[in-house]
Amino acid sequence: MRLVILDNYDLASEWAAKYICNRIIQFKPGQNRYFTLGLPTGSTPLGCYKKLIEYHKSGDLSFKYVKTFNMDEYVGLPRNHPESYHSYMWNNFFKHIDIDPNNAHILDGNAADLQAECDAFERKIEEAGGIDLFVGGIGPDGHIAFNEPGSSLVSRTRLKTLAMDTILANAKYFNGDLSKVPTMALTVGVGTVMDAREVMILITGAHKAFALYKAIEEGVNHMWTVSAFQQHPRTIFVCDEDATLELRVKTVKYFKGLMHVHNKLVDPLYSMKEGN
């Protein structure tokens, strides 16, 4: 597990975007070799998406041979609703890059058979060869995707009832009207994300500080589902200074020290700078 600490949100977003960019370029995707990327929604990844769009428009990055799988989608919200995750992904990312729409996979929260939709999503991931890099964000209660506190740490894609804290947090996207906030969602499971070959989790802001503390300084606990990624062989937590406020001073110093000592490993564009 690695913790990368940047000064602020913008730098954390840029670091994450460069890391994704570098991973795709190093993979050398092609017609018979697609890079498979897991993607989140919410406010945290917006800065990362903006940077990825910049890299695409500058000619440094193509998504032509990339397949994406999104983490979750609300149940019962029309696909064209401005707050659906379909709308979020197309408005904030997909329509600005060269991805084939057939390669951008998002769960259908209006499917006639929701469990069949979840099972099919798992099959699509398997048929794509698994996820190369799953990018995620977390809630203040440490949930990843919609794997709310108490979720199984070996769970698969399924229907979930949202916790009240999540509903309250999402009310800002629905003009503060709780009655309009969906109460159920389809979500990948913790086990689904754990199967990825690499996981990168974005955590920014002081309101996520306690969740980051629970994620890396205490043990694995299904009440803080993000803590499961302590057991993943390749997890990177990318955060800003504000998100470290609940961490021990020695923890912060340790990981900042690693960033200096292993600069070649943690600088996401090092190999590109060197022309490798």
Torsion of CA 186, 190, 192, 194, to 10 degrees: 160
Picking from 268, 270, 145, 131, the residue whose alpha carbon sits closest to that of residue 198 is 131
pLDDT at 272: 42
Active-site position among 56, 72, 86, 232 = 72
Catalytic residue flag (residue 267): no
Q: Are 13 and 122 in contact, with CB atoms under 8 Å apart?
A: no
pLDDT of residue 17: 98
Per-domain boundaries in the chain: 2-265
Task: Identify whether 143 is a catalytic site residue.
Answer: yes
Given the residues 73, 117, 132, 141, select the one marked as catalytic. Answer: 141
Please report the pLDDT score of residue 53 as a whole number.
98
User: What radius of gyration, in Å, describes the C-alpha atoms of the chain?
Assistant: 18
- Asked about 141 being catalytic, the answer comes back as yes
Among 56, 105, 143, 232, the active-site one is 143
Strand partners, 190: none
The answer to whether residue 72 is catalytic is yes
Catalytic residue among 148, 195, 240, 242: 148
Q: Alpha-carbon distance 123 to 6, whole Å?
A: 37
CATH fold of 2-265 reads Rossmann fold (3.40.50)
pLDDT 10s digit of each residue in the chain, 276 long? Answer: 999 999 999 999 999 999 999 999 999 999 999 999 999 999 999 999 999 999 999 999 999 999 999 999 999 999 999 999 999 999 999 999 999 999 999 999 999 999 999 999 999 999 999 999 999 999 999 999 999 999 999 999 999 999 998 899 899 999 999 999 999 999 999 999 999 999 999 999 999 999 999 999 999 999 999 999 999 999 999 999 999 999 999 999 999 998 876 665 545 544 444 443
Q: Which residues pair with 201 in a beta bridge?
A: 136, 237
**What pTM, to 2 d.p., does this model score?**
0.93
Query: Which pLDDT score, from 0 to 100, does residue 105 have?
Result: 98
